[in-house]
Amino acid sequence: MAASGMINAVPYLQIIEDPCYRFNLEPDVTKLTKISGLVGWWDFTDITTTYQNVAGTSGATNVGDVIRNIRNKAVISTKLGNFLRTVTDVAYGPTVQAGGSGEKAFAEFEYDGSVPEHVACLHGKNTAGFGGTTDGSIFSTADMINTDKTIFIVADYSRDQAAGSAEYHYTSSSIVNDNVTEKTDVQYMDPADSDKSTLQIPYNDTTEDHIDNSTENIWKMDACLITIRTGLGTNNTEYRVNMGYCDTLGGDSITYSTLSATYIKNMEVGQFSIGGHPQASGAQLGSWRNGRIYQLAVYNRRVSDEEVKCIEEWMMNFHEILPVYSGLVGWWDFTRRDPGNMYISRTGTGTAVVSNGDEIGWIKNLAPGDGAGLDKLGSFLRAHDDTSAYRPVFQATGGINDKTYATFDDGAGTNPARGLRGGYFTTANCNDDGGETTTKFSDLVLNMAAQTVFIICRAEVDNFSANGYTFFMEGQAAGGGTNLLTQTGAKVASDDKYHWLYIDTPSGSTAEAVTSSTMNNTARCVMLHSKASSGGMTITFDGALAGQTSPVSDSCSFAKTSNNTDGAPRFALGCTSAADTGVTAGSWGGDIYEVLYYNKTLSPTEIACVESYINNKYGLNFS
């Protein structure tokens, strides 16, 4: 095997120091099979394993193809069937979609109220033609032990799923210890318990343990990794979200639970399903409404700490999963071409942005906000007008780490009005420009001394002919004050340094952090971080301190319902915008890949988590 030859060429000590070294050498498409005990691996990112017909002979490889069969990539003889499938060739199933998290393919389990739910899921069983390892008699020869298994799920969750009933990632049922009683393991999002992810594990004929992760409203994440590792005894079962240590949504991201007893489930007459909960009658409960599943893997043992680390780190990096959502109020990502993220028209309809040279008229704010999608920097940003003068240009080639990006100006003032903005302007209703209602942009209140912003960008040239803005915002003092509050991040032409500026007008209160050196045309991550302390307003370039000052402890509100006075709310990306009309100017002289805006002072651990995400995604080297 090629990997073995490569390992032999590496010093023995390096292998000992990095327990994931051998694992990381394996190709992504077979990597999980190298850790023993893998009985199920359904990988929707690998379109060579998905088919449009239940027989598995016609590939489902194009966007929109219905998946009616998916092959189990596990290779051992005791695997959980050879494949999963829909009921018939006319049944609805998930569809192939592209451009998801990490630019990976995924299965979209889109729920349509006019279609019976029972046709949506994919399942296998010992019935002839349903994927059993011995067709028609045995689904799997595996004995699944409730206190000795590990499950990894990469998926995302739509708020539209909150339909008052549980929606299921997977179900697994078969005969238990007494060889008579059928019991079912299920994993689902529970709307009756603050939309937590829940695992239901039976341990005798009548009783089940319900294991909840403590992370509420799990649907808020764009994509996430769930890891479940079971064990018998007090607090010996782990339920982790995004590796469990990054404070994903506030509070603990790892929960320890107790399984009361062991049972062994004989899978010869068992079944396994993804995207629903089939019943003995053939009906189905809890389809996975409007959600995406990337991959699901099951190990028939409790894998070791080192093995969990290797698998989790690979899945987080492979899918480019953002690990911290707590406090996230703005997230604009030009590297993603999944449905609904960017459109050419500023109406947010029509042709999506997917090709090199497409102009960007509209981009979604991927930050979750609250349950109604509020309390964030607008639902979307858009160009001032549907012309080349105002729309930045999508670039599909030539980016750092092969990532796509948006180009605004060239640094010489050729396209000074290109940018994307939202707010309450005199030219339209506020909700036409990303606002919550026709007259209000957002209920969000930003604390100027408690925020963290990451901007992955590149200046086109070393010397700008005019100020170029990465972002611009304006609101009014929280609590009904009349003061106009403005905040900007820009490369200033007079010194070609990056300036993070806050101004309170008319009080004259200001705070400005300026980098000590000029900002050249190297791609970088700019982090702006503020906390209420002396010198607590800092700028870093790729993790290295570049400038600092002391912040002003003001709060900025975006809830003003007047659109032609000072403090009318607005936010702009790659430009500034005029208070009344929203016309854009001051375009950023270069490229922007992604912007993350947190309305909190991220902790050192949280910063390290986000920087790890950025470093993996863009190949930047943080100090």
Domain boundaries, the chain: 1-29, 35-318, 331-618
Higher local confidence (pLDDT), 160 or 182? 182
Residue 277 CB partners (closer than 8 Å, separation 6+): 121, 168, 171, 184, 186, 188, 284, 285, 286
Going 522 to 528 to 529 to 533, the CA torsion angle's sign is: positive
pLDDT in tens, 400-417: 999 999 999 999 999 999
Least confident of 424-428, 536-540, 615-619: 424-428
Nearest-angstrom CA–CA distance, 255 and 166: 20
* Selection from 303, 295, 131, 165 nearest residue 223 by Cα: 295
What pLDDT is recorded for position 13? 41
What pLDDT is recorded for position 209? 66
Residue 6 has pLDDT above 80, yes or no: no
What pLDDT is recorded for position 259? 83
Alpha helices in 41-166 (DSSP H): none
Task: Assign 160 a pLDDT band (cuts: 50, 70, 90).
Answer: very low
Query: What is the mean predicted confidence (pLDDT) over 536-557?
Result: 94
Residue 527 has pLDDT above 60, yes or no: yes
What pLDDT is recorded for position 192? 64
What pLDDT is recorded for position 391? 98
Nearest-angstrom CA–CA distance, 575 and 589: 9
Least confident of 72-76, 109-113, 346-350: 109-113
Least confident of 271-285, 294-308, 510-524, 594-608: 271-285
Q: Determine the distance from the C-alpha atom of residue 442 to the mean position of all C-alpha atoms in its chain, rounded to a whole number.
A: 23
What pLDDT is recorded for position 594? 98
Residue 206 CB partners (closer than 8 Å, separation 6+): none
Residue positions counted in the chain: 623
Residue 270 has pLDDT above 90, yes or no: no
Task: Assign 477 a pLDDT band (cuts: 50, 70, 90).
Answer: confident
Residue 237 CB partners (closer than 8 Å, separation 6+): 147, 211, 228, 229, 230, 231, 256, 257, 258, 259
Instruction: List phi, psi (to 5°) of 4.
Output: -65, -40
Nearest-angstrom CA–CA distance, 580 and 73: 57
Q: Going along 461-536, which residue ranges are E strands?
A: 468-477, 484-492, 497-505, 509-514, 524-530
Nearest-angstrom CA–CA distance, 33 and 74: 6
* Selection from 109, 98, 110 nearest residue 61 by Cα: 98
User: Would you identify the CATH topology of the domain 331-618?
Assistant: Jelly Rolls (2.60.120)
Residue 161 has pLDDT above 70, yes or no: no
The neighbour count for residue 293, using CB atoms within 10 Å, is 22
pLDDT in tens, 40-62: 999 999 999 999 999 999 999 99
Domains 35-318 and 331-618 share a fold: yes
Residue 4 has pLDDT above 50, yes or no: no
Least confident of 160-174, 248-262, 337-351, 515-529: 160-174
Contact criterion met (CB below 8 Å) for 499 and 526:
no
Helix H or strand E encompassing 546: strand 544-549
Nearest-angstrom CA–CA distance, 609 and 605: 6
DSSP bridge pairs for 224? 155
Most distant CA pair in the chain, distance = 81
Higher local confidence (pLDDT), 480 or 242? 242
Task: Assign 530 a pLDDT band (cuts: 50, 70, 90).
Answer: very high
Q: What is the DSSP-derived secondary structure letter of residue 623? A: -
Higher local confidence (pLDDT), 556 or 116? 556
Nearest-angstrom CA–CA distance, 250 and 514: 31
What pLDDT is recorded for position 54? 95
What pLDDT is recorded for position 508? 75
pLDDT in tens, 368-393: 876 555 689 999 999 999 999 999 99
What pLDDT is recorded for position 14? 44
Report percent pLDDT > 90 for the chain: 58
Higher local confidence (pLDDT), 482 or 295? 295
Residue 228 has pLDDT above 50, yes or no: yes
Residue 159 has pLDDT above 70, yes or no: no
- CA distance to 80, 126, 262, per residue, from 176 (Å): 16, 16, 10
Contact criterion met (CB below 8 Å) for 157 and 150:
no
Nearest-angstrom CA–CA distance, 330 and 487: 15
Task: Assign 170 a pLDDT band (cuts: 50, 70, 90).
Answer: confident
Least confident of 163-167, 437-441, 493-497: 163-167
Report percent pLDDT > 70 for the chain: 83
Contact criterion met (CB below 8 Å) for 274 and 123:
yes
Higher local confidence (pLDDT), 461 or 179? 461
Highest-scoring range by mean pLDDT, 161-175, 205-219, 509-523:
509-523
The neighbour count for residue 550, using CB atoms within 10 Å, is 15
Least confident of 40-54, 136-150, 166-180, 533-547: 166-180
Task: Assign 470 a pLDDT band (cuts: 50, 70, 90).
Answer: very high
pLDDT in tens, 8-36: 444 434 444 577 888 999 999 999 999 99
Instruction: List phi, psi (to 5°) of 16.
Output: -65, -40
* Selection from 437, 432, 422, 442 nearest residue 374 by Cα: 442
CATH number of 35-318: 2.60.120.200
pTM over 0.75: yes
What pLDDT is recorded for position 2? 36
Coil vs helix vs strand at 192: helix
What pLDDT is recorded for position 529? 97
